[in-house]
Amino acid sequence: MNVNNLLVLRKTSLVDYPGKVATTLFFRGCNLRCPWCQNRELALASDTPDQAFISPDEALRHIEKRRAVLGGVVLSGGEPTLYHGLPALITRIKALGLPVKLDTNGMAPHVLETLFWQRETTPDYIALDLKLAPVRYTMLGAKNPTVQLKESAALIHATGVNHEFRSLALPRDLFTDNDVEALAPLVDDAPWFFRLFQPGNCLDPVWDEFPAAQEEDGARLAKKAGQLGKRVDR
């Protein structure tokens, strides 16, 4: 993947940034391969026709034009921390007077650390995905997931930036109470959201045959997190 050539796709969203009307920029490319991923065309950058994307400069022009009606900008993916121009992009968005939310899988703590060096490059809100027990990330293609996730969570906590944690309840008991227990030490007093897997356009087509996760799957995981003293949200 050529990380110097990442492009973004934009949409306007009422739900991606808590309490704000936001434009979301989706970055092409990802350093994980979650089989249930529904951002297939973003994660597998090579699958995507270039005309579907705009450049970061075009995205910035769009943001500038709509600045008056926007409450913020979400940088999502794929995985935005792979984009080498991320600090400059955040700086330019914040210079327009708009707060930035960063969605990340936490596999690049060194990038987060770099962003946190300066106020201009520090996101105003971070959503950290927690997918499975850290040791199980190897099945998603991660090389040193326990260290990376722990460092990312610790950095976010230490910086004091507003944040949330996000997990996906998977079908067939593939995300268990044991995963919640293993992830819990990474979670501070920020909210931990449990969403439900839905099949459709999955990165691994086998997952499109899987049933959707049920309300009770999410409720069970949330209950476990609550029992561990976490601030759970749905």
> Which residues form the interface with ligand SF4 (CB under 6 A)?
30, 32-34, 37, 39, 43, 77-79, 105
Here the contacts of 38-43 (C-beta below 8 Å, separation 24 or greater) are 38/198, 38/200, 38/201, 38/202, 38/203, 39/77, 39/78, 39/203, 40/201, 40/202, 40/203, 42/9, 42/77, 42/78, 43/77, 43/78, 43/203
Taking the alpha carbons at both ends of the chain, their separation in whole angstroms is 35
> In angstroms, what is the minimal distance from the CB of 129 to ligand SF4?
6
Look at strands 125-129 and 232-233 and give their pairing: unpaired
CA distance 157 to 119: 16
> In angstroms, what is the minimal distance from the CB of 103 to ligand SF4?
8
33 or 136, CB closer to ligand SF4? 33
SS3 state of residue 179: helix
Residue nearest to ligand SF4 (CB): 37
* 54: its two tokens: 């705009």
> In angstroms, what is the minimal distance from the CB of 63 to ligand SF4?
22
8 or 98, CB closer to ligand SF4? 8
43 or 100, CB closer to ligand SF4? 43
For the purposes of burial, counting CB atoms within 10 Å of the CB of 95, is it exposed (0-12), middle (13-18) or buried (19 or more)?
exposed
125 or 207, CB closer to ligand SF4? 207
> In angstroms, what is the minimal distance from the CB of 106 to ligand SF4?
9
CB atoms within 10 A of CB 159: 16
131 or 230, CB closer to ligand SF4? 131
> In angstroms, what is the minimal distance from the CB of 195 to ligand SF4?
11
Residues ≥6 apart with Cβ < 8 Å to 51: none
> In angstroms, what is the minimal distance from the CB of 173 to ligand SF4?
19
77 or 99, CB closer to ligand SF4? 77
